[in-house]
Amino acid sequence: MDIVTLENQAITEFLSIVNRQQALLARIEDQITTQPIKPIENKYRRQGQKAKDKKANRGSSNNSLEIQSRSEGLREARLHEKIVEYPFLLHTPELYAGELLLDSIIDELALPNKRRADFAFISGQNQVIKISLVEIKRASDKVFKDNAQKTEFSNKAKKWISQVEEWRDSFASEDRKKSLLLSLKPLFKNYPVPLLTLADNVARETQIEIDYILIADNEKVDTPKRQHLVDSLYLENDILLMPYPEMIEHVKRHPRPKHMISIWATGVHVKTSSPSLPHFGDLNEDPLGVKMAGLGMNHFDTSRRRTCFHPETLREIFYRSAGVCEIPGCGVKIVASDGVQGHLTPIYNNFPERSTLPFEALLWREHTALLCGNHIAAFNEGEISTLGNCHFLKEKLQHKSPYRAHLDHELMEFMTTLTNRVATKFLTIANCSKTESTLFAKEITQWIKSISSIPVDIRQFYQEIVIHYFKNGKPTRGKHTESKLLISLPYYYLTKARLLRKNPETLEIEPTMLDELKKTNNLSDIYRAFTYYNMLHRNGHSCHY
């Protein structure tokens, strides 16, 4: 049986569980409780009936609750088991540029607050790590309670939401977030950015974001009132509620193969391996960890939560724009069938001399617009727009908008374009395409995207080593020996990024790209391009925008 047929069969089986009706006994009980009972008028008959009821129900109440609880748990367990067997069934929304870490979902992740998430998945972008916790509920329980006056969450849904809110509140402490990240340490063994120190503490630069997903109900969010409830839950409580039918619809439109793993005391255990993916942990396709960590964005840009290039802020901007140019009346789609047609643009082009704000405020979410190519060229042309002054877009940029699956998908393509920009410029300057193979251009692209994500002080350290090899084409004995670098933080960072290695013959520390560079007769052009690249980034701030 081919993979597509197998996946379709898995979806059919999963939906049959989702759409399964209540058990016959439960439906009869519901029907009985909803039918009016004719009262007994005779006083003595009422007393006799009470005695009979008491005798009949003695001990049955607890048994009934136990049976009901067991039934609910069984249905939920069947959904859980099916997702473990076919991990692609679980939609993994709102990923960063690094997409799904190790292409894997974690089964039953133990949390530091002595609770357990049904599933979890991780995504990274440079030093920012997002951990998504997923709670699934049986599909036959309804999320919404509709009546003529209003629509609200059902009592069961309120209970589920309270449970997830307890998770969220428990992670208000940074120490709890760090504890959760440390429990996932085996998954970051080959992560190219040092998230942990040599002493196994969370590094100061590491940022941890946690979001929460609740999957329940077999009915769609098909009315404005229901949609308002779901949107409010997302914007005000940071909980993404997703009904099963909508999740499966997205899985059908954008299938993504995944592994299913679990974290044990002894390490990582692979429970289900996808036949469409390399073996779990295989680094052959991503030797520098560029895909794994979504590298290509400048380290400075992703280190500030409010600036537009931070992955969370970028998501807020894209949702706010609804994926179209934010100039009133324009409506041009940013991500079109022929590629990305726009970019992020600061609405202010002048920083006041006596401002109390940091210079990076020019790139805050509320000061950055997503514009199409035509409007970028003409935006603020010939005008000085000073930070803090009135601007016709200022009020619009204050808004926040909720999750939409199609915008989340378009954002991934937009982020890919962002992370490729610097590497594309580098290849153009180096003129690699005329002299080198496609494989070499790909390796250079990986290398430059990795360099883009290095902090400026560490990049300067690396630059000394790299330029020496660019100029001479061979190592100089004793120039950068391992003994001098073992206690160096930049050395630890760069070896973690797999950009430095120890030469087995000379014991020198050298760039990992040295062998590839020797293949080219275009060393001078590449050196010139590397120098130009460092000039663009000498202040540690990128020129993406």
Query: Lowest-confidence range among 25-34, 225-234, 266-275, 283-292?
Result: 25-34
Mean pLDDT of the residues in the chain: 83
Kindly state the average pLDDT of the residues 502-525: 64
CB 171 within 8 A of CB 249: no
Give pLDDT, residue 43: 57
Give pLDDT, residue 285: 86
CB 479 within 8 A of CB 508: yes
pLDDT digits (tens, 9 = 90+) for 122-154: 999 999 999 999 999 999 889 999 887 889 999
Q: CA-based angle 111:116:121, to the nearest 5?
A: 75
Kindly state the average pLDDT of the residues 34-57: 58
Q: CA-based angle 397:399:401, to the nearest 5?
A: 120
Confidence at 6, pLDDT banded by 50, 70, 90: confident
Q: Which of 313, 308, 252 is nearest to 130 (CA)?
A: 313
Give residue for tokens 């400048």. Answer: 298
Give pLDDT, residue 288: 92
CB 116 within 8 A of CB 110: yes
Give residue for tokens 């993994």. Answer: 92
| Residue bearing the bigger pLDDT, 4 or 324 | 324
| Residue bearing the bigger pLDDT, 345 or 49 | 345
Give pLDDT, residue 134: 98
Confidence at 432, pLDDT banded by 50, 70, 90: low
For 371, phi then psi, to 5°, come to -120, 155
* Calpha distance 522→427 (Å, rounded): 12
Q: Which of 73, 262, 242 is nearest to 143 (CA)?
A: 242
CB 300 within 8 A of CB 209: no
Query: Lowest-confidence range among 50-64, 76-90, 258-272, 291-305?
Result: 50-64
What is the C-alpha R_g of the chain? 28
The fraction of the chain above a pLDDT of 90, given in percent, is 55
Half-sphere exposure of 400 (CA within 13 A, CB side): 14
Confidence at 473, pLDDT banded by 50, 70, 90: low
The fraction of the chain above a pLDDT of 70, given in percent, is 77
End-to-end CA distance of the chain: 49
| The pLDDT of residue 24 is above 90 | no
**What tokens appear for 132 in the block?**
């998504």
* Calpha distance 323→218 (Å, rounded): 29
pLDDT digits (tens, 9 = 90+) for 89-129: 999 999 999 999 999 999 999 998 788 999 999 999 999 99
Confidence at 30, pLDDT banded by 50, 70, 90: very low
Give pLDDT, residue 431: 60
* Calpha distance 195→187 (Å, rounded): 11
Give pLDDT, residue 515: 58
| The pLDDT of residue 254 is above 70 | yes
For the beta sheet containing 128-136, the strands, ordered from the edge strand earlier in sequence to the opposite edge, are: 239-242, 207-215, 128-136, 116-125, 104-110, 259-264, 267-272
Helix (H/G/I), strand (E/B), else coil: 240: strand
Q: Which of 167, 256, 164 is nearest to 216 (CA)?
A: 164
* Calpha distance 254→256 (Å, rounded): 6
Q: How many CB atoms lie within 10 A of CB 542?
A: 20
| Residue bearing the bigger pLDDT, 440 or 245 | 245
| The pLDDT of residue 33 is above 50 | no
Specify the pairing of strand 151-153 against strand 144-146: antiparallel
Specify the pairing of strand 207-215 against strand 239-242: parallel
pLDDT digits (tens, 9 = 90+) for 175-233: 999 999 999 999 999 999 999 988 889 999 999 999 999 999 999 999 999 999 999 99
Give pLDDT, residue 251: 95
* Calpha distance 149→173 (Å, rounded): 40
106: burial class by Cβ within 10 Å (0-12, 13-18, 19+)? buried
**Range with the largest mean pLDDT of 20-24, 30-34, 171-175:** 171-175
* Calpha distance 542→536 (Å, rounded): 7
Confidence at 456, pLDDT banded by 50, 70, 90: confident
Confidence at 46, pLDDT banded by 50, 70, 90: low
pLDDT digits (tens, 9 = 90+) for 307-361: 999 999 999 999 999 999 999 999 999 999 889 999 999 999 999 988 899 999 9
For 113, phi then psi, to 5°, come to -90, 20
Q: CA-based angle 323:345:452, to the nearest 5?
A: 95
User: Global pTM?
Assistant: 0.86
User: Which residues lie below 8 Å from residue 73, measured CB to CB, with a gap of 6+?
Assistant: none
pLDDT digits (tens, 9 = 90+) for 378-387: 887 778 999 9
CB 294 within 8 A of CB 415: yes
54: burial class by Cβ within 10 Å (0-12, 13-18, 19+)? exposed
**Range with the largest mean pLDDT of 236-240, 302-306, 478-482:** 236-240
* Calpha distance 348→345 (Å, rounded): 9
